[in-house]
Structure 1
Amino acid sequence: MESWRFSAGGSDYVLRRAPSLAFMEGRPYGHHVEAALIEAARAKGVTAPEVVAVLEEADGLGSGFVMRALPGTADPKVILGCDDPDGLLREAARDLARIHRLRQDDVPEGVPVMDYRAAIADLKAQFMTAGGDRPIIALGLKWLEDYCPAPVEPVLNHGDYRMGNLLVEGSNLTGVLDWEIAHFGDSHEDLAFGCMAVWRFARYDRPALGLGSIEDYLAAYEAEAGVTVDPARFRFWTIYRTVWWALGCLKMAAQWRSGADRMLERVVISRRTSEQELDLLLLLEEDAPEVELAREVWDGPIEWRHRGEASTSEIATAISEWLATLKDKLTGHDRFQLAVARNALGMIAREHQDMIRVDICDEGLCRDILDGEKSLSTEGLLSDLRADALRKLRSDVPKYAAHAYARKKWTGEN
């Protein structure tokens, strides 16, 4: 979604809208329901923004709504450097517990109730549509099918409760944003999502929202909610949402190809699938046999070859360096897009270096995994997937925090 801040009548507001009407196709509900849902949560004490208007067709602005602006920032880099991360973590746990108190009678009609098995089947369908050829994702899907828990009484899930969607001023929570995928389901799903490695940003050492320990986060949540968190369900939903986000990244390229959203960011995010594959393998390998866990992983050095003419890698690097000179001449979204463009060129440059390019797609292996014929018990499979994951991420997003952790764990090298 897009967010546009503006002033009117001496007050500040934010317009939240879809980049196109096509972008809204296939969603379980539209912005009218989302706006009413936010107001329902705010009425129950959740730190949510006040919705002041919902767009109509006659407005000519597409699909969206207007909220009263709140103080603070959603920038993780700023938030994670706050003076009291422990206090902020407790506030985040408090608001999540309040969200989970809402039941179906508290919110407008149209908010779906999650069927766990159907949701896994939908992920599998997405995987097949995207080619069905990424073995680590196939392993995740098979694990979800094998270990799906029994349903519990559904509570309202925010669906995207993580750093980046929390508005913070100083060390205080000032707003919970982005309710577009809220649904009813297992509270452990929301808890697990915010603790995924990708949402810790640079603070891999602070697994709960990048602010602190999972133990402290869950303890604060339990104290507010009056419930006990189940570790097995927490792990299931961590794996589920890692698969979910891997596929979410993967289909960004399809959105760009279809023309629904031609933003440069879409194609770049599609290459962040490799982040989730590495995280997923770290989660799944806990179940692998000791003999496979101990098997050596080869993560060989990059070999540079210098030729007479400039390589594709060198051309991409040269363009990136030139774009860097424009940074101070741009503002707002254009400056952000410049950073995205440089990231994209970095991917191209690294991918075209000899010995770093890796083809991780294997449709046949994925079929064997999904059919149960191969698993992490298969001789050498875990070692091969570890090596592939490291090389692919080294090409796509080498600065991803989990990359260094996994490389140290799997190869013993810094």
Structure 2
Amino acid sequence: MGETESAGALDQGLARALARAGLTAPEGLRRLTGGATMESWRFSSGAEDFVLRRAPSLSFMEGRPYGHDTEAAIIRAAHRAGVTAPEVLVELMPEDGIGSGFVMRALPGTPDPRAILAMDDPGQLLREVARDLARIHSLSRESLPGDVPEMDYAEAVAGLAQQFDEAGADRPIIALGLHWLQANLPPRVEPVLNHGDYRLGNILAEDSHLTGVLDWELAHFGDRHEDLAFGCMAVWRFARVDRPALGLGTLEDYLSAYETAGGAAVDPARFRFWLVYRTVWWALGCLRMASFWRSGDDRMLERVVISRRTSEQELDLLLLLEDDAPEEERLRPVSPAAGAHQPSGEASVGEIATAIAEWLATVKDRMEGHDRFQLAVARNALGMIARNDAAATQAEDATLARDLLEGSASLATPGMLARLRRAALDKLAADVPKYPMLARARNLWMGED
């Protein structure tokens, strides 16, 4: 619970905040699952349901461009403008003693991407998503807090390069992506408000209708193409990688609906730049999750597990960039995967991890709520340990990464693309073998069904 010492302390602090909004003390407070950064707690007050959004610790807010007061003001402005945003009722104060955050009125619908993707009319939902994004991009500076930052594209790319260096500068595919971004930086356009995290997982839907847009902590002024591209990343399409627009439909339908709803015409080159940018951004974001855990700011299990999802973005990034390689390199065969290590003698690390995961499966029915979710995360982590112990993978290569970042090696280098493809396949198979793009990449690169 971050810096909160007990459930009772959270109840008491939240009651103080609710009293300022004329609401009664919370009832049935429970932690919601998910959320890569902030915590969400659902509760009742009177006859209505509400959600508390807060940081896992006060130190977790350090270094962020703005605090929860600004985030709350952005959401209020979007709500007034007809965006399907929640109604913010009250912000936490230091005297509440439960950290930084705010309370929102709960909205109907589910955030579960798989439930949303199974709805009857994904095309209708896609049009409503495009409409809301156009409304967000139409918000004026005057209606928003003065400390909402504007992205400088060059500074943003330089910031990614610095993160890469701090993370060890040893991932060749990320280095390739950084070099591409530096070489393809677009000119500045008139900025609009970007939601910054507009994707499945951060929207609510019910009966194929959009009912809410959540998680505004990354909102900033910048290129509208960044928002449009982010939700189209393969990772946010979940099981429907065949539907490029948020897993809901085609890019043509999505961008057409956006323009029809008042959004400006979309430039394909700028869209591709921001798709690559955000893929590099999330790859490095995953890596940073491990540093949050190591620092002690947030020792949640999800942090270390999410850090291993870097391999998803490395594979996706290679799929985005390989079209720039010469045809002979794209056609060069990828070497077969190395055989798995077969242990003998005493149990290997991987076998111990498997044994623990199997035991956890026998107790999962005794868990509920966030504890059950954490148990699933723990079993996922143990699976990663077991697969990495058995596989012969090598994702880190500081020398090759430096050569790709500096441009002395590239996808035109004979055998480079095939080498990177093999490394990406092996690492992802060990980390997240059920990631949908892995099967697609194997089919494209190896001819495997």
* TM-score of the alignment, normalized to the shorter chain, above 0.5: yes
Deviation for aligned residue 1:413: 1.5
Which residue, out of 20, 38, 49, partners 2:57? 20
Aligned: 1:411 with 2:446: yes
Aligned: 1:150 with 2:187: yes
Deviation for aligned residue 1:373: 0.8
Deviation for aligned residue 1:227: 2.2
Partner of 2:266: 229
Which residue, out of 368, 373, 379, partners 2:408? 373
Partner of 2:252: 215
SS at match of 1:275: helix
Deviation for aligned residue 1:59: 0.5
d(CA) in 1 for partners of 2:357 and 2:335?
31
| 1:321-350 C-alpha deviation (Å, 9 max, x unpaired) | 110111111111101101100100000010
Which residue, out of 396, 399, 418, partners 1:364? 399
d(CA) in 2 for partners of 1:104 and 1:205?
37
Deviation for aligned residue 1:304: 5.2
CA contact (8 A) 1:299 1:391 kept: no
Which residue, out of 289, 292, 309, partners 2:329? 292
Deviation for aligned residue 1:214: 1.2
Aligned: 1:248 with 2:285: yes
Aligned: 1:77 with 2:114: yes
TM-score calculated relative to the size of structure 2: 0.90
Map 1:44-193 to 2 at 5 A. 44-193=81-230
SS at match of 1:360: coil
Q: Percent identity?
A: 68
Deviation for aligned residue 1:302: 3.6
SS at match of 1:53: strand
d(CA) in 1 for partners of 2:135 and 2:145?
17
CA contact (8 A) 2:357 2:379 kept: yes
Residues 209-218 or 385-394, more deviating: 209-218
SS at match of 2:382: helix
Partner of 2:388: 351
Amino acid at match of 2:431: D
d(CA) in 2 for partners of 1:302 and 1:28?
47
SS at match of 2:180: helix
Deviation for aligned residue 1:303: 3.3
d(CA) in 2 for partners of 1:231 and 1:399?
30
d(CA) in 2 for partners of 1:311 and 1:131?
28
Amino acid at match of 1:409: L
Map 1:326-341 to 2 at 5 A. 326-341=363-378
SS at match of 1:47: coil
Give the aligned CA root-mean-square deviation in angstroms: 1.0
Gaps of 5+ in 1: none
Which residue, out of 281, 288, 311, partners 1:274? 311
Aligned: 1:312 with 2:323: no
CA contact (8 A) 1:83 1:171 kept: yes
Residues 316-325 or 235-244, more deviating: 316-325
SS at match of 1:339: helix
CA contact (8 A) 2:340 2:392 kept: no
CA contact (8 A) 2:85 2:213 kept: yes
TM-score calculated relative to the size of structure 1: 0.98
d(CA) in 2 for partners of 1:105 and 1:289?
49
Amino acid at match of 2:152: D
Pairs aligned (count): 412
SS at match of 1:133: coil
Amino acid at match of 2:433: P
d(CA) in 1 for partners of 2:344 and 2:281?
42
CA contact (8 A) 1:299 1:390 kept: no
SS at match of 2:145: coil
d(CA) in 1 for partners of 2:164 and 2:341?
35
SS at match of 1:238: helix
Q: Please identify runs of 4+ aligned residues in structure 1 that moved more than 4 A.
A: none
Amino acid at match of 1:271: R
Deviation for aligned residue 1:301: 5.5
d(CA) in 1 for partners of 2:191 and 2:142?
12
Amino acid at match of 1:396: D
d(CA) in 2 for partners of 1:306 and 1:27?
46
d(CA) in 1 for partners of 2:153 and 2:233?
19
